[in-house]
Amino acid sequence: RQGFSTYNMTHPRRGNAGRSQEKALVEPVFDEQIWYTKWRIGVYPDYFEGVQFPKDKESLEQFFRQITPNTGPMDFEVETDAIAALFDKLGGAIMVAHSRGVMQTWKTIPKTENIKAVVAWEGGGFFSFPDDEPRPDIDVDEGIEYIMVSPDTFERFTRIPMLLVYGDNIPEAKSNIPELDIWRIRLRLAKLWAATVNRHGGDVTVIHLPEIGIYGNTHFPMSDLNNTKISEIMAKWLERKGLNN
């Protein structure tokens, strides 16, 4: 609507890109209650107070139906090679990523010069810290939520502007609900990582929506009831960075 050419990408072995050369056994899994909580709609079956997710039964049913299985083993190298090839084909574009797609973004940036900026919605995992500095002071082990990389690889993250956005109902203190506590860890990691990148000359902005007076957003701000207001945050940031033309 604001004049951007947009490309909606599905990573290999999922959804519309589901035809894989690697086999996988897809088994029925009844885990909707876990995802309901992990996506911060509420603590199942209750909704968080003031949540921006629609509360009618039909909306929730349609939301759950959009959960699809992988049709091959998850392979971040295969996925990020494909993403890098797309950006090279485009000759340069802005990466707008969500959730696990943000993990892919951090793995893709070192593989291409054609990601010109990043808008990362509710990302967690693979925050990349330089291995010639101390590990981040955080209560989670290296491996998934963060990784240590060479200074040369880390330097790639300092070259482009990046915006990281997180929604509401993230615990401020350690929670006994693991699906919620992981977001406390991820938000803290995002802030630690942004500070590290910026200290090395980068340009990372982290926005925690409640801190700017916007409440009730889930893990899916693009489908929350206030998504127009949320999209304005991205549009204004792109304008400030001269990326809207």
pLDDT at 164: 98
Model confidence pLDDT, tens digit, residues 86-100: 999 999 999 999 999
Tell me, yes or no, whether 148 lies in a domain.
yes
Give 109's contacts (C-beta < 8 A, 6+ positions apart): 115, 118, 156, 157, 160
* Residue 216: CB atoms within 10 Å: 20
Q: Is residue 202 part of a domain?
A: yes
List strands edge to edge, sheet with 93-98: 93-98, 115-121, 161-166, 203-208
- Report pLDDT digits (tens) over 135-167: 999 999 999 999 999 999 999 999 999 999 999
Domain that holds residue 110: 76-240
Give a yes or no: residue 190 inside a domain.
yes
What average pLDDT does the chain have?
95
The CATH number given to whatever domain includes residue 132 is: 3.40.50.1820
The number of folded domains in the chain is 1
